[in-house]
Amino acid sequence: MPSESERIVELYHRHADVWDRLRAPGSLFEKPWLDKFLALVPAGGAILDLGCGAGLPISGYLIEYGYKVTGVDTSGPLLAMSRSRFPEQEWIAADMRTLDIGRRFDGILAWDSFFHLCPEDQTAMFPVFRNLAGPHAALMFTSGPQHGSVLGEFEGEPLYHGSLDEGEYRSLLSQNGFDVVEHVVDDPSCGEHTIWLAQRA
């Protein structure tokens, strides 16, 4: 039987339309953090959006300001929405854990996607981040506040979230050549998200 973390892929397949309706028209509460991230990315730079979903609102915001977006997701229905909305950008069906597309990026974003991985898979992601990051690349991702796994709910189904603890994240970032720029736990101005912003040294 697949673990709850592995079931995430099928969940977003089944409920792509619902997820899109909830997110696409909504306010961009992430904007202050996206602006901090973009301040570390050169104008017009290449950004990798891991877990891009249907392209709105986050990828759309990046595209609006002239960045070149490569979106990666495991949900075919969500990627189809991204392609229809922004056909000039690149949208790839792939698993972030094994992503190797032979390019490096000026910015890597894993917002509300990385935290669906189990702690072991999160640990293994940091060399992947390193291999995808160009010189001085920005990296931003959301996590939980402490090591462990939590089950939420979406459309009546379990929705898995995993996390390492702060010390583990700091160590993994350092080991893979990233400096922490800013870190906030349960940011009340951003929907109680725990956020990491780092930059390739």
Tell me the three state secondary structure of residue 110: strand
- Listed in sequence order, the residues at least 6 apart from 86 whose beta carbon sits closer than 8 Å to its beta carbon are 55, 59, 60, 63, 69
Q: Give, for all 201 residues of the chain, the pLDDT tens digit.
A: 346 656 666 656 665 566 677 776 677 999 999 999 999 999 999 999 999 999 999 999 999 999 999 999 998 989 999 999 999 999 999 999 999 999 999 999 999 999 989 999 999 999 999 999 999 999 999 999 999 888 776 567 777 889 999 999 999 999 999 999 999 999 999 999 999 999 999
The pair phi, psi for residue 148, each rounded to 5°, is 145, -170
Residue among 66, 68, 118, 70 at smallest CA distance from 97: 118
Domain residue extents for the chain: 8-200
Does domain 8-200 correspond to CATH entry 3.40.50.150?
A: yes
3-state helix, strand, coil in the chain (%, to 5): 35, 30, 30
Total-model pTM: 0.90
